[in-house]
Structure formats: C-alpha cells, structure tokens
Chain A
Amino acid sequence: MATWTWFHRFGSPPWVYGFARRWTPWIGGAAGLSMLVALYGGLVLAPDDYQQKDAFRMVYVHAPTAWLSMMVYTTMAVAAAVGLIWRMKVAHAAAAACAPVGAWFTVAALGTGMLWGKPMWGAYWVWDPRLTAELVLLFLYFGYMGLRAGIEDQAKADKASAVLAVVGVVNIPIIKYSVEWWNSLHQTPTVMKMGKPAMDTAMLWPLLLMFLAFALYFAAVLLIRLRAELLRRERNASWIREVLT
C-alpha cells in the first residue's frame, strides 16, 4: 500500500514540484560539501600512484563523470519507460530533464579522458574501447535530443523519445560488447591501461566520496530541471498560481 501512495504522489505535478523545491537545497548542499571534501582528499591527501605519479589524480574527475554519463542515460530510460507504461506525465518530464545533463557529462568524460590519455598513451585520442563507447553514448544523447526537438507536439515528442531511450538502453550493453570485441581485434600498443590501479584506502575513499557527490549533484540538478519542465508543461494553472505567488 505504502509504495502505491508514493507512486501516486510522484504522479502528481504539484506534489513533485513542492518535493523538489523542499529538497533541492539539502541535496545540493550535501553534494557541494562532499565534492569539496573529496577534492581535498583526492588532490592533497591521497599519495601518488607509483606508476602514473600525479597523473592518476585525473581519476577523481574522469571516473565520476564517465559513470554519471551512463547512469543518467539509464535513469532517463527508466523514467521514459515509466512514462510510457503508466502514462505518467511527471516521468516524461523527468526524462526530458535528464538528457542535457547527461550529454554534458558525456562531453566532460570524453574531455577528461583525452587529457588523461595524452600523458598515458602519448596522444589525445586513442581508439580505446571505453572512450569509443563514451563517444557512441554522446551520439545516442544527440539522437534523443534531436528527436525531441524535431517533434512539435509535446505529448508526441515525449512518447517517441521514450521509445528511443528504451531502445537505446537495450543497445548500450551490445555496443559496449561490440566495441570491446573490435578493440581486441586491433590491439593498439598502449603504454598503460587506464583506471584500476591498485588503490590503497587513502586513494579510494576520495574516489568513492566523489561518486556519491556526483550522484547527489545529479539529483539536485535533475530536481531543478524537473521543476522547470513541470512549469512549462502544466496546463492546469491553479497550482502554478499557488507556487509562484
């Protein structure tokens, strides 16, 4: 029963709007705080990696952005599926709010990956399976946003892009697998594999905290964007009048 009342609340725009407004400062504050602590831990407290020296510190920005770019897509697809199956408008609004955030983080993951690649591989771009998958993910985001922009009717755009998001999320594991397969065929002589150095605790905790910080940050930004989407979509003005005055 309890889950059902929650489900119904999340279907109601005024309730979600109020919830978002109440919680954004707390979640955002927690995100900011943990980000600062994790930065200090990662840049100052953590010792050098014995192979990569200080270059390994880029893991504290590359790994969270890369992880977030995937997680945002998954969140978007789940929201889209909920919107399609239960015809829930709030879920469609949430999916719409996810896309630009995810695309930006994909760009950040690609950029930081390239900057990390230069000292490690000797080139800004190497067709590494993870970077390549990240690039394809960026194209998936572009397609999603392009489809949304291409359909004028809001309800229609919601549903069509939701189908695309679900198809995309089914495809992502296949894409990752195919890219790894492809990479194994053409082994490029890389100086060093990125990621997964044997980490001691002083290196690990800032990373884990950074993951948490980015997840909280995403939640806060999503709630802000969700409010904007709800205001734009809602036709029944009575609650909007209430929240705006």
Chain B
Amino acid sequence: MKTGTLEVARLVMARDLRLAFRKPSQLLQPLMFFMIVATLFPLTLTPEMSRLRDAAPGVLWVGALLSSLLALEFLFRDDAQDGTLEQFALSGQSLTWMLFAKTCTHWLLTGLPLALSAPVAAVGLGVPASAMWSVVASLALGGFALSLVGAISAGLTLGARRGGVLLSLLTLPLAVPILVFGADATQRAITGDAIAPPMYLLGAIAVLGVTLAPLAAAAAVRIGLE
C-alpha cells in the first residue's frame, strides 16, 4: 500500500532530525556564528548601550540572515551528493511536499534555535527584557520565511560550481522584504510599540512562501539533479 502524505512528511522529518542529532556540530556552527557576529558589533561600534540599542535590530537581523545562509548550504547538498535526493524524486510521492517537510525541519534545526538564543545576544545589545518575547517571535517567523526562500536558492545552486557564494547572491535580494519587516518588528519591540503590523506582513510573506516556495524548490531540485 502506498504511503500516505502525512506519513511521508513524518518520515522525512524524522530522518533529518535523526541525522542532525548524529552530527550536532553542523547544527551548532550557525548558532555560534550568530553569537560571534553579535559580539563583534559592540567591539567595532561602541560599548555604549543606548547607541547599541539603536543598532540592535540591524545587528540581530543581518546576523540571523548570514547564519541562515551558512546553514542553507547543507539543506540539499548532502542529500544530492549521496544520491538520496534522487530517491526522493523517484519515490512516486510529491517532491514539493517532501521538500516542504525538509524545509520545515531545517527551520526547526536552525531558525528556531537561533530565535530562541537571540535574547542572549540581545541582552548584550541593550535590548530591554520586556522586548525579548517579541524579538524571539519576530526572528522565529522571519527565520521560517527565510528558510522557505532559501530553499529555492539552495535548489537552484545544486547544479552550479562554487555554490556557496552564489547561494548568498541569489538569496539576499529575495530576502529584502523579510529583512525589512523583521527588523521593523524588532525595532518596535525595543521601543515598546505594537509589533502587529510588521508581523502580519511577515506572516503574509510566510504564507505566500509556504504556497509557492516548495513548488519552485522542487522544480529547481529536479533541474539540479539532471
């Protein structure tokens, strides 16, 4: 009997989680990178908390974007190299759906931990404690949208030489709206304003991403496997 849709997603997620926990270094590296970036700013800018607080949204979001780019490289590359991605494409199941499951897992393993650890970096940037929940929420939602957009570029660069730099070149312009709305949400959280307006827009991007990005990623992966 053919495996059901939900069971397929569960299997893909379980496999990727298991693989990640067998190689925890790959999981921790983007997080450490994020922390280092957040540390470098006070060292290069100013130790003065009030000025750092102004720069905090930018630092947090640029750091999150860069570290998610680092992690994106591994989203499909390993699976493409050992041939398992080919088996995804030949399983008779929807590749779009399987890649969506993979992307969600990727967010669980990179975007979510990053958002959860952001308060540590945020304290150092003078972000008030009252803003922390909003900072975490905005980074978590924005990180999900980033993973979706990044899945497209990760698929597109499968067939390219020197995929790493190219991956950033493709992802950054597409990530501009996420960065704008995300940083605005964080900014509002710091100043104590309502974060709902930019969060709605981030949510809208995430919804659009959920519907379109896996389709584009599946098309890209099929081309990359040729």
Interface residues of chain A, those whose CB is within 8 Å of chain B, are: 84, 136-137, 139-140, 142-143, 146-147, 150-153, 155-156, 159-160, 163-164, 166-168, 170-171, 174-175, 177-179, 181-182, 185
Cβ of B170: which chain A residues have Cβ within 8 Å of it?
Answer: 143, 146-147, 164
Cβ of A181: which chain B residues have Cβ within 8 Å of it?
Answer: 180-181, 184, 201
Our pick among B159, B205, B224 for the contact of A174 (Cβ within 8 Å) is B205
Our pick among B162, B174, B201 for the contact of A167 (Cβ within 8 Å) is B174
Measured in the bound complex, the distance between the Cα atoms of B61 and A182 in whole Å is: 15
Measured in the bound complex, the distance between the Cα atoms of B166 and A156 in whole Å is: 16
Binds A, one of B17-25, B103-111, B116-124, B212-220: B212-220
Residue B64 interfacial (CB < 8 Å): no
- In the bound complex, do residue B161 and residue A152 qualify as a contact, i.e. CB atoms below 8 Å apart? yes
Our pick among B166, B184, B219 for the contact of A146 (Cβ within 8 Å) is B166
Q: From known contacts A142-B169, A156-B223, A182-B180, infer whether A171 and B159 are also in contact, taking CB-CB under 8 Å.
A: no
- In the bound complex, do residue A156 and residue B226 qualify as a contact, i.e. CB atoms below 8 Å apart? yes
Residue B98 interfacial (CB < 8 Å): no
Cβ of B192: which chain A residues have Cβ within 8 Å of it?
Answer: none
Sampled A-B contacts (27; CB under 8 Å): A136-B173, A147-B156, A150-B160, A151-B160, A151-B161, A155-B226, A156-B226, A159-B223, A160-B220, A163-B216, A163-B219, A166-B216, A167-B152, A167-B216, A168-B174, A170-B212, A171-B173, A171-B177, A174-B208, A175-B176, A175-B177, A178-B181, A179-B176, A181-B180, A181-B181, A182-B180, A182-B184
Interface residues of chain B, those whose CB is within 8 Å of chain A, are: 152, 156-157, 159-163, 166, 169-170, 172-174, 176-177, 180-181, 184, 201, 205, 208, 212, 216, 219-220, 223-224, 226
Shortest Cβ-Cβ A-B pairs, 3 listed? A150-B160, A178-B177, A139-B173
Measured in the bound complex, the distance between the Cα atoms of B172 and A142 in whole Å is: 11
A-B pairs with beta carbons under 8 A, tally: 85
Our pick among B159, B184, B212 for the contact of A160 (Cβ within 8 Å) is B159
Cβ of B180: which chain A residues have Cβ within 8 Å of it?
Answer: 178-179, 181-182
Cβ of A142: which chain B residues have Cβ within 8 Å of it?
Answer: 169
Our pick among B159, B177, B208 for the contact of A153 (Cβ within 8 Å) is B159
- In the bound complex, do residue A163 and residue B159 qualify as a contact, i.e. CB atoms below 8 Å apart? no
Measured in the bound complex, the distance between the Cα atoms of B157 and A164 in whole Å is: 10
Measured in the bound complex, the distance between the Cα atoms of B151 and A163 in whole Å is: 13
Q: How near does chain A come to B103, taking the closest CB pair, in angstroms?
A: 15
Measured in the bound complex, the distance between the Cα atoms of B157 and A178 in whole Å is: 26
- In the bound complex, do residue A150 and residue B161 qualify as a contact, i.e. CB atoms below 8 Å apart? yes
Given contacts A167-B174, A181-B201, list 10 more A-B pairs with CB under 8 A. Answer: A139-B169, A153-B226, A163-B220, A170-B212, A171-B177, A175-B177, A178-B177, A178-B180, A179-B176, A181-B180
Q: How near does chain B come to A61, taking the closest CB pair, in angstroms?
A: 25
- In the bound complex, do residue A160 and residue B205 qualify as a contact, i.e. CB atoms below 8 Å apart? no
Cβ of A155: which chain B residues have Cβ within 8 Å of it?
Answer: 226
Q: How near does chain B come to A189, taking the closest CB pair, in angstroms?
A: 19
